[in-house]
Amino acid sequence: MGDLKARETPSRRFPEAPQSVAEARRFVRAALDGVAPDVVDTAQLLVSELVTNAVLHARTEVEVSAHVEENTVRVRVGDRRPDRGLVPQKCSPYAGTGQGLALVEQLASRHGVAVGEAGKTVWFELRPEAAPRQRNGWETPAPPSGPGGKTVTLIDVPAALYRASQQHRHVLLRETALAMAAGHDLGVTADDLAVAQDTSNVITACVTAALRQQGSEAEMGSLPLSVPPGAEPPLRTLRTVLDLAEEAARGERLLTLPSLPRHRAFQQWLLDQIVGQLTGAAPTAWTVMPQEPGTGPSALVPWDADQVRASRVATIAADERNRIIAANGPAADMLGWHEDDLVGLPLTTLVPEHLRKRHLAGFFSLLLSGESRILGRSVPLPALHHDGHLIPVRLFIQTQETADGRTVFVAQLAPRAAAPGPSSRPPGRVRPAAPQESGPLSPWAAPQAVGDAGRSRADTSALGRLALLADAGAALSNSPNLDEGLRRVGGLLTQQLADWCAVDLFTEDSRVERVSIVQRSPHGPWPEEYGGRLPPVSDSARGPLARALRGAGPLLLSGPPPPGQVTSPLDAHYVGLFRVMGANSAVVAPLRVRREVIGVLTVARRGRGRPFTEEDLPLVDDLVRNLALGVDNARLHQQTRNIAERLQRSLLPVLPEVEHLELAARYAASSATAQVGGDWYDSFVVPNGDTALVIGDVTGHNLDAAIAMSQLRSMLRGIAVDRQEPPETVLRRLDLANHSLYREATATCIYGLLKGPTDGLWELVHSSAGHLPPLLISADGRTRYLEDGAGLLLGVDPDARRPRASDALPARSTVLLYTDGLIERRGEPLDHAMDRLRRHAAALAREPLDTLCDELLIRLGADSDDDIAVLAARPARPD
């Protein structure tokens, strides 16, 4: 390619209008006629980005010049807004906006900005013979707050979530501007849109400056923002414009999707924090804000597929295209797949056929409307096994943001009787976590850096020791599960005693598993390969961990275990942990209970701080005694709960096959407590050919309730089959029998007999002992509660006469029996709850019974504080 010759410097002014972008591209191509095509193309691309920025943000006349000088293409784009500085953004390739300055930085040989009194000019150079030179970015000063400006503090800002919400904010404002330029009325005035765009850029500039001053982009941190004076009214305008833009996006009037719930909640928190602090309010951390389901701050670190693969909880992740992008071994085992075979499949592969259309409708409704039914909620539904059978599970879905601003949907699955709850950390390998605030520290306070010299240590007084022991015991006993309890205890220990700590426990098969690693610094090393299952405790193992697992200790270490003690894979694994985490001293202590070692606690200090000494051993010994007792109690509770859950699950009957009659039933334990209860259903054919429908609820949520339920169920079936008497008589006999076993126990129950058609109609003869009335759902969507036949609870007055009711069931109508966990909500009138059930049931009147039952559990049973049992029957007209 020949040398470029020097030319005159042609320039042209363009009005503040969208069409100026295309006109500027044509002008540059004409001005650079004869220049290599690839250079012209690059110049056109960069000019297009810069003019777009000027039209959208400067909103003044734009002047563009382009010429060739000394083998170099020089282009300048100027506007009349010197006060509106550049706002460079660190954007991913997936970002829908904010790429202009980044493209100039990457493609130009040189670039810069000149600011004068009358305007500012962004310039760049292109050298055809040389690759672009990487520079340190746009050297723009931090936005000055000016006289009267204030500093506000944003506490616990998740970097990935901020980037995602920032990108979407800019996209919404850009699409709003383009739609208004095309003549669409979105309810936004041109002046308000201009204020909103300027204010959005000010926020981005303030955060960029704060991150630059921090020197690094942490996963989470607190940002002091220097806000210009008079920012409160423009911020309120920005909030209003964003609300209108979101409404337009939901109405498909913008070429962008609305925000997902968590992004929308974060954006509102961000603006509310700035406005609130400008008016004198105290800062409130994002992590302590009360959130609606699906918007909580639980996933605080960027998405990492390794977190899913290393999790001990069955976990699957999908992207915004509804494709599985990661799955772990527990999930694959539960569903009958190999984890690698799941990756790349559509998520509908794991959804039963009768729910697939509704799953897709709900998924795309979330993307199109930003509204979700199940995000952040524990939902009972069936999953499809590889061999085709259905697995009752509870599903808990959270969203996480990738480092480049995309969204990932992370789902935890558990067998139906074991309800997962919101995890305080994303599912993944045992990750060193930042300690939780406790004691005198307020969660509303900004975190403060603590150096080695100023590091806090446990109060060595008797009162301080007792306080630490009490706090550790409370943290473990008040946690929803053992993993969470150990994490909270680790947070206390790393606040007051150590820099990091680890807990290793024996499993049922006598292996050792590292179930918790917690460290003081949230940005410290991550020993990903040192979590989970450990090498076996072989006879050759002689290191401190092996010795403690055999009962020795507490052992005081003045540093990492010496190389001479590395005689087995377990020893090498433990030395590797010390190498990654660092330690100048440590205490390794066994966890003993009932004369048996169940695990080991390691607490370590690193750096130049005060090392552990013999004086610390009594405190650690007391700690492991309490910790071992808490772990043992948690395990015993889990074992008891599992036994009761298996008992309750084993009592759920197989529904009979009856000609011209469809039957379906579902059972789900409480999502809040995962405790067993007294809910049950049953259906069987009595000797005369009638089909019995039974549903009931024994008072209580414990093993006693489950046992009483099993006995009531068995007695009722025996009485009904043996006597073949009317429902009210069967219930009276059941009440008498129950009174002889449990004088203080009460229960509700409905016993009904479905009698086959004689003149084309089925008939339900039923009696109720204090239970909620059955719901009759006609094929055309009309609903009616069958309230006749209601009597006293079981256990109140066994001699009381019980009423009977008889109702005709038209063909293709559905009779629904259910327990109170499906509809009742704390603090809500029962009439409202029953009306809600009628509305949902009416909408599902023509759906197959399996779909009806599953949808009712999904819509009404998510996050229920009580057990749920549902039994549905639908008669068909004989052929």
**154-192 pLDDT, tens per residue?**
887 877 788 888 888 888 998 898 888 888 899 999 889
Of 513, 514, 492, the residue nearest 502 (C-alpha): 514
From residue 618, how far is each of 84, 494, 622 by CA, in Å?
63, 18, 6
What does the pLDDT read at residue 454? Answer: 35
The two tokens of residue 269 are 């928190």
What does the pLDDT read at residue 626? Answer: 85
pLDDT digits (tens, 9 = 90+) for 418-471: 434 334 334 434 444 443 333 322 222 222 333 333 334 444 556 777 778 888
Any bridge partners for residue 157, and if so which? 221
**Count of C-beta atoms within a 10 Å radius of residue 435:** 21
Q: Strand 11-14 and strand 62-69: pairing?
A: antiparallel
Of 760, 780, 771, 677, the residue nearest 727 (C-alpha): 771
Helices (H), 551-680: 569-581, 617-650
Strand order in the sheet with 378-384: 324-327, 315-318, 407-415, 390-401, 378-384
Q: Do 307 and 428 touch, CB atoms closer than 8 A?
A: yes
Separation of alpha carbons 19 and 24, rounded Å: 9
From residue 381, how far is each of 2, 352, 575, 642, 814 by CA, in Å?
69, 10, 45, 20, 21
Of 580, 598, 582, the residue nearest 590 (C-alpha): 598
The two tokens of residue 279 are 């008016």
3-class DSSP state of 303: coil
| 295 Ramachandran zone, left/alpha/beta (phi>0; psi -120 to 50) | alpha
**Count of C-beta atoms within a 10 Å radius of residue 281:** 12
What does the pLDDT read at residue 435? Answer: 39
Chain centre distance of CA 815:
36
Give, rounded to a whole angstrom, the gap between the first and last alpha carbons of the chain.
Answer: 86
**Count of C-beta atoms within a 10 Å radius of residue 124:** 24
DSSP letters along 216-266, please? S--SEEEEEEEEPTT-HHHHHHHHHHHHHHHHHHHTT-SSSPPPPHHHHHH
Separation of alpha carbons 222 and 522, rounded Å: 13
Enclosing H/E stretch for 344? none
From residue 346, how far is each of 324, 327, 350, 472, 584 by CA, in Å?
6, 13, 8, 44, 50
Which residue in the block uniquely carries the two structure tokens 């009460």? Answer: 746
Separation of alpha carbons 476 and 315, rounded Å: 25
From residue 198, how far is each of 168, 234, 237, 632 by CA, in Å?
16, 9, 11, 59
Percentages helix, strand, coil for the chain, rounded to the nearest 5? 35, 25, 40
What does the pLDDT read at residue 842? Answer: 95
ω into 536 cis (within 30 of 0)? no
The two tokens of residue 805 are 């009711």
Polymer length of the chain: 879
Separation of alpha carbons 172 and 239, rounded Å: 12
HEC states along 268-290? Answer: HHHHHHHHHHHCCCCCCCHHHCC
Stretches where the chain sits below pLDDT 70 are: 1-9, 87-98, 129-148, 214-221, 288-302, 310, 312, 370, 372-373, 403-405, 416-462, 480, 522-528, 564-565, 640-649, 671-677, 701-703, 742-744, 758-760, 877-879
pTM confidence score: 0.61
